[in-house]
Structure 1
Amino acid sequence: MSQRRFTQLDSVWPAPLPRRLGALIYDGFLVAAIWIAVTVAHVAFFRLVVGQSAEEVGTSAVEVWSLRLLLVLSAMAFFTFSWTRGGMTLGMQSWRLRVQTVDGSSISVGQSVVRCLVAWVSLVALGLGYWWVLFDSERRSWPDLVSGTRTVVLPKKRD
């Protein structure tokens, strides 16, 4: 997938923490819905294909770890698809946010994967990776810094 250059580059500004948190909450609901669907499919596979009884499902380490891996990969796929396609998730669209390269292009799959991995670290560190926006002069979070991207606010559309 080739990177495309975004428009409105002179009209964007670094995204503040409240907007980022708003988008994060919206996207959290979307990820939860994806996780429910993945979990239902996972349980159905072990019940219908493998033939386990309801009491057996989820009792082995293989089942537990395969589900955990599927949940992480499905969340990463959601974000990677959204960010590389148009620079924003549905939650980011609601808050008029876009993730882009420093020069204003769409981000690569590699940058997206790095953003996802560092986002997990940021959240595990009690959100410090996102609170970092308050201390960085360019309002960059840890995912922005490590992946070489920036999250910006888009101007309101004029009629």
Structure 2
Amino acid sequence: MNTAAPPSTSPLALQAPSLRRRLACWLYEGLLLFALLFIAALIHGMLGLLIPALQSAHVLQVVLFVVFGAYFVWFWTRGGQTLAMKTWRIQVVDPQGRPLTRVRALARYALCWLWFLPPLAVVAPFHLPAIESTVLVCGWVLVWAVLSRFHPQRQFWHDVLAGTRLISVQS
């Protein structure tokens, strides 16, 4: 009888990808999200012509939040990889290496906003110029990314809080 652990649960298989690879994936994901944003905003704009109540910027923000959430939860619960994650051979799993449940994927999506919400909350009351706001947001993103170096398994802290982890996968 074979008593070896399945490959997905061996410690070697659950190693985090390098920070460089995760940030490259993050940037590529941003490009894909821009395309998704464009399509969602276009549909929202066309519907706004038919239903004037939908023309609010706040409605668009809610629509984008829901569309982005649906994108991530869909991919994370069906194979654990978005399109960018497939390209960079990164997968999101639970702490035991299993696929994410919908609830855990939703929690991860909500906690992923820690990449942006803290600096935006600081910037908002001061009405800073765009360049200063951009510098603060980018600075926070770099700090948040580098903080993963202080986790024993090199995981991002929103993954730790969500009970998820990023792992390298073989091609």
1:147 equivalent among 142, 162, 168: 162
2:76, 2:151 → 1: CA distance?
22
C-alpha deviation, 1:20, in angstroms: 0.9
For 1:98, what is the secondary structure of its paired residue?
strand
1:129 corresponds to: 144
2:84 equivalent among 78, 91, 98: 91
2:145, 2:101 → 1: CA distance?
21
2:157, 2:165 → 1: CA distance?
10
1:111 equivalent among 90, 104, 107: 104
For 1:87, what is the secondary structure of its paired residue?
coil
Structure 1 unpaired stretches of 5+: 1-5
For 1:107, what is the secondary structure of its paired residue?
coil
Contact 2:92–2:164 at 8 Å: present in 1 too?
Answer: yes
Instruction: Report the TM-score, using the length of structure 2 for normalisation.
Output: 0.75
Instruction: Report the TM-score, using the length of structure 1 for normalisation.
Output: 0.80
1:16 corresponds to: 18
Contact 2:92–2:166 at 8 Å: present in 1 too?
Answer: yes
Cα deviation 1:5-57 (Å, max 9, x = unaligned): x854434221221111111111111111111111111110111x23x6xxxx8
C-alpha deviation, 1:129, in angstroms: 3.4
